[in-house]
């Protein structure tokens, strides 16, 4: 069972790399390219939407969001195009940089959420 999980994890990593390479291909519809950018940015972002230190939920977002996005994109992208980029993604020398913009965006969303929670808490406690 553990070998199956490891194989699937490698497959997801390869698919994220393939989507990273395919995100600008003109043969892919614009909405699939946009979704590919979002999924790849989320997968490569050093900061998660739900931090990993939160029990269960921290890893659940990684186990659900990225694979579901890949499955959806596999249905939106032509098979031959996706297969072409999957072959390119298997190159061990391929380097993919972390997306710092998405990291900043997620930190900003967390800050906005914390500020909103503080505002609501302050209003309700200090009436």
What does the pLDDT read at residue 46?
67
- Residue that wins the pLDDT comparison between 50 and 12: 12
Cα–Cα distance, 58 to 47 (Å, whole number): 11
Average confidence score pLDDT of the chain: 81
What integer pLDDT is reported at residue 97 of this predicted model?
63
Q: How confident is the model at residue 94 (pLDDT cuts 50, 70, 90)?
A: confident
- Domain extent at residue 32: 2-125
The reply to whether the predicted model has a pTM over 0.75 is no
Nearest to 12 by CA among 60, 71, 98: 71
Per-residue pLDDT at 21: 85
User: Which pLDDT does position 80 carry in this prediction?
Assistant: 92
C-alpha span between 106 and 22 (Å, rounded): 24
Tens digits of residue pLDDT in 44-90: 776 676 777 777 777 777 778 888 888 898 889 998 998 998 888 88
What distance lies between CA 26 and its chain's CA centroid?
Answer: 21
Number of domains in the chain: 1
- Is pLDDT above 80 for 112? yes
pLDDT at 98: 62
Give the pLDDT of residue 31: 92
Least confident piece of the model among 21-25, 52-56, 98-102, 106-110: 98-102
């Amino acid at each position: 069972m553990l070998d199956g999980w490891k194989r699937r994890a490698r497959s997801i990593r390869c698919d994220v790399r393939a989507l990273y390479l395919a995100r600008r291909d003109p043969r892919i519809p614009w909405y699939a390219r946009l979704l590919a950018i979002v999924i790849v940015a989320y997968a490569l972002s050093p900061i998660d939407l739900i931090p990993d230190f939160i029990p269960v939920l921290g890893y659940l977002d990684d186990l659900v969001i990225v694979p579901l996005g890949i499955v959806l994109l596999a249905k939106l992208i032509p098979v031959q195009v996706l297969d072409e980029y999957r072959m390119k993604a298997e190159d061990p020398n391929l380097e993919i940089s972390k997306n710092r913009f998405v990291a900043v965006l997620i930190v900003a969303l967390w800050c906005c959420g914390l500020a909103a929670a503080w505002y609501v808490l302050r209003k309700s406690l200090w009436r």
